Amino acid sequence: MPQFRTERLGQMIQEKIGSLIIEGVVKDNRVSSFISITKVKVSKDLSFADVYISDIRGRNHEKAVEGLQNAAGFIQSQLALTMHIRKTPKLRFHGDKSIGDAFNLIKKIDIISRQDAEKCIFDYAKDAKEEEN
């Protein structure tokens, strides 16, 4: 099967699962609307779809993975109803820490840049004081 077809199918699955979560169709307490589907990889034979999720709040998403894995059969049936494909892939959910890691990296860069700015201001004030003397 051409790669662009599996990528397009992955995007459709990502959109459908995301809308099921946001609309509250998945009624598991472990799955909140702060869950984001970051990527979906569909196998070439369409037998499996690996769904990667992340919590936008940066919290531990392991419980959400468990909740979605428990609801995988229901989600798969909902996909089969809305998507007109011959074979609906079996869903496997995985945690994705890339969004949280990116936020942490941005925070560290911000801290370092503030420290550098404070050091530059301190050095400038020190140089100005030495020139006065």
Q: Of all residues in the chain, what percent carry a pLDDT higher than 90? A: 20
pTM score > 0.95 for this model? no
pLDDT tens per residue, range 73-109: 999 999 988 888 888 899 999 988 777 777 778 888 8
Q: What are the distances in angstroms from CA 43 to CA 2, 37, 53, 65, 131?
A: 11, 17, 18, 20, 69
Cβ–Cβ under 8 Å, residues 49 and 42: yes
Kindly report the length of the chain.
Answer: 133
Average pLDDT over the chain, rounded to an integer: 81
CA distance 86 to 83: 9
